[in-house]
Every structure is written in C-alpha cells, then in structure tokens.
Amino acid sequence: MKIYRDLKEIKEPFANACVTIGNFDGVHLGHQILFGEVGQRAYHCKGTSVVVTFDPHPLQVLRSEGIKLISNYEQKVELIEHAGIDVLIVIPFTMEVAAISADVFVDDILIKTIGVRELVVGYDYAFGKGRSGNTQFLQKQGREKSFSVTVVEAHYEEGTLVSSTKVRELVAEGRMADARTLLGRYYQIRGEVQLGQQRGGKEIGFPTANLHMDENDLIPKMGVYVCQVISEGKCYGGVLNIGINPTFDEKRLLAETHIFDFDRDIYGKPIKINLLRFLRSEQKFSGIEELSAQIARDVVLAKEILIEQQDELVLACEERFNC
C-alpha cells in the first residue's frame, strides 16, 4: 500500500480511482465493508482503490475535550493495509482544512488531485465546512461532474448498529466480547514496555510488563482482564490489570500484564495486548499476601478461559488479526 501524508505528494491523479473517505476510527466491520466495496469496484474497472482519512482525528482539533480513539494512527494504517487497499491518503487535519467548503473539497481534492471515478461513503458521512457535504450533496455532485456515488447503508451485528461510538461505549464498560463483535477482532492496546516499581516479581511473585496509559487514550473499564500478548511476533496468554494500584496507593494509570510462560527481557520493546474478557474490578487489598493470592486465582481462571478459546486465539495470532 502506498501512503501519502500530504496532498502535495500526489503528482497526478490515480488511474480509475475508486475512493472512500472517512475518519475510520477503530476500522470496525462497517468500515471494512466500505473498503471491500472500494476494492471490488477498483478490481472490476482495473483501477486504484483509495482510502482518504485524516490525522489527527478532526474532533481532536474541533473539540476542546478531543475524542477517545479506538485505534492509534499506526494501528489504523495497519488495518487499512490488511484490507488490501492500494493507496492511503492521510490529510493533516487543521482548522484551515476544516474551513474548506464541500464543493471546493470535491473539485480540488477528489477530482483534480485524486481523480475520483467512483466514490463510496457510509450512510451518515458528511464533510466540509459545517458538514455540508452529506450524501445527498455528493450524489448531486456525482451526477453533475461524472463520478458515481455509492452510499453504503448502516451495518448491524446481532441487532447492534456498528459504529465507533458504540465500540467506545462497550470498551469503557469492559464488554470486550461485544466490542469484538463490532470490530471483527479483539480490542487492543499497545505500546513500549516501561520500567515499573519492579515489585511484581520480587514481592508479589507475578512479574508484569507495564504500559503507561494516557488520559487521552480510550481507557477500558478499570480492572483485571484475560488477555493475549503479542511480543516479537509470538503470542502468549496473560492477565492484565488496568488501574492505579490502590493496594500501594499509587496514582499513575498503568496497564500491568503478567504474561504466562514468559521470561524474556522486553523493557523498551513494543507489545500488543488483546483484551479478551473482563474478570473483576480493581480493588484494594490488605497487603501483598492477599493480593498475591487473588492474582493466583485470576491466573487459574484466565488459563481456563484461554484453553476454552484456544482455536480462536490461534486465528487471532495471525498477522492480519493481531494488528
């Protein structure tokens, strides 16, 4: 997949460009349907499948409180690439971009720069100044300027509308199985392993790989989860605690993962953590002995769950699912 991070990098329009445009936060099943439609249309007209997105997310610029993202930029790019898209155009979103009118966006970006032949958008997509570029506007523009417009209807899984808003809600509630249904994969956090207080192995008996979590991240419900850890291309089971360590009166928000059957030094190295199931809420224990006993029970239960889901987890470790 060819990636353009600035419209000025595009020297000429793409051949028979079949385009979709959106924020694609989370790259959930609804987004994947759009990518599939674009890919099919590009294949049939021997053209180029193109995804246009924005970075940062427009609401991070337009809202003072920002927005909690399901996937970071790196993960979004990986997921779009795995969808088989030829070209990804990432438009840096600024207040100047927000001020571009919908008709200018169509003329200068979609037609002159990209060379759109077919456009595929979701049923609720809108863009341009004041979000005036809705689906009705695009269909009218397509008729006048000779490109086709396909509007993909809302997609439901098990009676639930698939949307980024719903995924955020489910993650915040710790409903990981339901989030997976809408995403088509496990919800994942990722980052570089940080040096912690090092009491996990020495004092408690359960060493952990720690990730610092930022208040701007989409934070799952605090507590303990069964998880799957991807480190250096290999997958491991584990238990993850997301919280502030009340037993030790800490204030930093951490994701602490005890990885099963693992003894490698991974400080400073990247890991990916798939959240499978919420086990229990974070709680304050009387001391290390009580905490250690509870973690031991968590580990036993987590291993039972991992055995039950073994076949599914093998599939989740394939490259196209672990991003």
Transcribe 38-54 into DSSP letters: HHHHHHHTT-EEEEEEE
Of 81, 256, 290, 308, which residue is the catalytic one? 256
Q: To 5 degrees, how large is the angle CA 258–CA 259–CA 263? A: 110
d(CA 133, CA 127): 5
Element (H, E) at 270: strand 270-280
Where do we find the tokens 């001020």? 99
Element (H, E) at 4: strand 2-4
Pairing of strands 148-152, 209-212: unpaired
**Helices 176-183 and 164-172, interaxial angle, to 10°?**
160
Q: Is 250 a catalytic residue?
A: no
- Active site (catalytic) residues: 256
